[in-house]
Amino acid sequence: MLTRLRAKRDNLHLGLMLALTFSTGVVDAVGYLGLDKVFAGNMTGNVVILGMALAGADDLPWVGPLLALFAFMLGAVIGGRVLRPVKAGWATRTTWLFAVVGAVLAGLAIALFVMNGKPPQPWELIITVFLATAMGLQAATARHIAVKDVTTVVVTSTITGFAADSRLAGGKGQPWFRRAAAIVLIAAGAGVGALLLMLHIGWGVAVAALITLIAALLGHIAAHVKHTPAPASAPAPAETAA
Residue 241 lies in a domain: no
CA 17 to chain centre: 6
pLDDT at 131 over 90: yes
Answer yes or no: are the C-beta atoms of 54 and 111 closer than 8 Å.
no
Q: Is 181 domain-assigned?
A: yes
Query: What's the domain range around 219?
Result: 2-224
* pLDDT tens-digit readout, 158-187: 888 888 888 888 777 777 888 899 999 999
Per residue in 185-208, pLDDT tens? 999 999 999 999 999 999 999 999
What's the mean pLDDT in 133-155?
A: 91
Handedness of CA 12, 14, 17, 23 (dihedral sign): negative
Residue 52 within a domain? yes
pLDDT at position 156, please? Answer: 87
CA 102 to mean position of chain CA atoms: 11
Residue 241 pLDDT more than 90? Answer: no
pLDDT tens digits, 82-129: 999 988 888 899 999 999 999 999 999 999 999 887 788 889 999 999
Element (H, E) at 65: helix 63-83
**pTM for the predicted model, two decimal places:** 0.86
228: left (phi over 0), alpha (psi -120 to 50) or beta: beta
Higher pLDDT, 232 or 223: 223
Residue 51 lies in a domain: yes
Q: How far apart are CA 203 and CA 216, in angstroms?
A: 20
Kindly report the CATH number assigned to the domain that includes residue 33.
Answer: 1.20.1250
Residue 236 lies in a domain: no
The number of angstroms, rounded, from the C-alpha of 65 to the middle of its chain's C-alpha atoms is 19
Residues 225, 240: Cα–Cα separation, whole Å: 45
232 lies in some domain: no
Total tally of structural domains belonging to the chain = 1
In a domain, 229, yes or no: no
Residues 6 or more apart from 20 whose CB is under 8 A from it? 138, 142, 152, 211, 212, 215
Closest Cα to residue 31, out of 77, 74, 72?
Answer: 72
pLDDT above 60 for 226: no
Rounded alpha-carbon distances, angstroms, from residue 59 to 32, 50, 55, 159: 15, 11, 9, 31
Q: Is residue 234 part of a domain?
A: no
The predicted pLDDT at position 4 comes to 54
pLDDT in tens, 41-95: 999 999 998 899 888 877 888 888 999 999 999 999 999 999 999 888 888 999 9
